[in-house]
Amino acid sequence: MPTAPFALPAAAMLQSALAPRLADFGMLRWVEETGSTNADLMTLIREATPPALPWLLGAHLQIQGRGRAGRPWNAAPGAALMLSCAFPTTAAPTLLPSLSLVAGIAACEALRRHAGDNAGQVLMKWPNDLQYGDAKLAGILVETARQPATGQRVVVMGMGVNLRDAAAVSQHFGRAVADWSQVSGAAPGSAEQWLDMAVQLAVDVASAWQAAVHLHETAGFQPFLDRHASMDALASRQVNVIEDGRVLLSGTAAGLDGFGRLQVRHALGMDAITVGEISVRAQA
């Protein structure tokens, strides 16, 4: 029997279903279309009287979506679950770079809880791409800013999870892309089931982020090291470290250090690669 095509419920319906599940969020909105959910929350941070934190903003369509390094990120309407959350943080400035990894680790754990027998194949590729096997499943963007009125530092975590169209997207970009229908193994058969799935994923990711930000500001990155090791897509793999299209280093991925830097073992020793400076590609 063929599965039903995926269709997200109307934005207003999804917002209404989320609200009681995330009652402590000072702002929770889901819209049909926006430029970028991350950019919208970064703008809200700068307002004179913003609502109480935390916030969640989701959209069926982003027309100016961004990935790391400002790369464009777009998906067809309803083809991805796209949301951003904003949380207050008192983490020391030296800890802020590792928030990018914290977001990926927490989101990966949240998605695994709904992946059934395929949970072990939902992985995180440093610094925070989520994969199903070797195919990209979700992208994450993390930004920080201060509220001018209060001086409070705020972290914005945004994610887009591919829900459908993986085959077409893979063909278009010439690289492996996965979607949630592949991970879950079966498409829900009714609109109510699709709504329930979208709500569960959004609630669990937002709640996981909220708990992770709190743990990070009180205990630093150390508690996340073992959690990352259980989902490390690069563990013991041969990798190229690439910057601006140029291979800087080749070696074996050897996990993270206490600051969230990727360790690469090579003939001359070990190098720690800093988040936000380079990309890492597993060699074939």
49: tokens are 């009287």
Strands, sheet with 80-88, edge to edge from the N-terminal-most edge strand: 27-34, 55-62, 80-88, 153-162, 135-146, 129-132, 122-125
pLDDT digits (tens, 9 = 90+) for 241-272: 888 888 888 999 999 999 999 999 999 999 99
pLDDT band of residue 235 (cuts 50, 70, 90) is very high
pLDDT tens-digit profile of 40-65? 999 999 998 899 999 999 999 998 65
Percent of the chain with pLDDT over 90: 71
pLDDT-derived band at 11, boundaries 50, 70, 90: very high
Q: Which residues pair with 30 in a beta bridge?
A: 58
pLDDT at 35: 93
- pLDDT tens digits for range 274-284: 865 567 766 65
CA gap 42, 24 in Å, rounded: 20
For 119-141, b/e burial (b = at least 16 CB within 10 A) is: eebbbbbbbbbbbbeebbbbbbb
Q: Please name each of the domains of the chain with its CATH number.
A: 11-228 (3.30.930.10), 234-282 (2.30.30.100)
Q: What is the pLDDT at residue 248? A: 87
Would you state the pLDDT for residue 174? 79
* pLDDT value, residue 79: 80
- pLDDT level of residue 2 (50, 70, 90 thresholds): very low
| Phi, psi (rounded to 5 degrees) for 279 | -110, 155
Is the CB of residue 79 less than 8 Å from the CB of residue 164? yes
